[in-house]
Amino acid sequence: MANLKEIRTRITSVSSTKKITSAMKMVSAARLRKAHDSVTQIKPFSKKLSELLINLSMALEDKDDNPYAKKREIKKVLLVIIASNRGLCGAFNSNVVKKTIELVKFFRQNLIKKI
């Protein structure tokens, strides 16, 4: 059975943890608000970029002599990997790396069979 001193120590510990958790919650809310604002500001650019790419792809589809629109055998594959270097995004970076490894294995197996 716990004595009075242990109970007081435990109460103090729990209240300290509560204060720290509250502070962390406030910080994360501020970061979430900042991230939300960033995404909101990027939306017009994203929309315009999508329109531009759609118009460009429609223009390429109409041209039979366009070398970029021709169907060719795949000989080489370039993967451009984008990961984050800031914040608490370990799971994001881990998932990017896992997916990259899967894609590399997939392309190696499929390209080796064709050659």
Residues 51 and 84 in one domain: no
Residues 41 and 78 in one domain: no
Q: What whole-number distance in Å separates Cα of residue 60 and Cα of residue 69? A: 6
Q: What whole-number distance in Å separates Cα of residue 26 and Cα of residue 22? A: 6
So what's the pLDDT on residue 30? 94
Residues 60 and 37 in one domain: yes
Residues 4 and 33 in one domain: yes
Residues 61 and 77 in one domain: no
Q: Give the domain range for residue 29.
A: 1-65
So what's the pLDDT on residue 32? 93
Residues 92 and 60 in one domain: no
Q: What whole-number distance in Å separates Cα of residue 105 and Cα of residue 111? A: 10
Compute the Cα dihedral for 60, 71, 74, 84 and give only its sign: positive
Residues 78 and 102 in one domain: yes
Mean predicted confidence (pLDDT) in 12-28: 94
Q: What whole-number distance in Å separates Cα of residue 92 and Cα of residue 82? A: 10
Mean predicted confidence (pLDDT) in 27-36: 93
Indicate the average pLDDT of the chain: 85
Residues 52-98 have pLDDT tens digits of 988 887 776 666 677 766 777 878 888 989 888 776 677 888 899 99
Report field, pTM of the whole predicted structure over 0.75: no
Residues 82 and 54 in one domain: no
Residues 55 and 78 in one domain: no
| Tokens read off for 43 | 């939306």
| Tokens read off for 62 | 């109409």
- Cα 25 to its chain centre, rounded Å, is 22
What DSSP character marks residue 68? T
Q: How many structural domains compose the chain? A: 2
- Catalytically active residues are 89
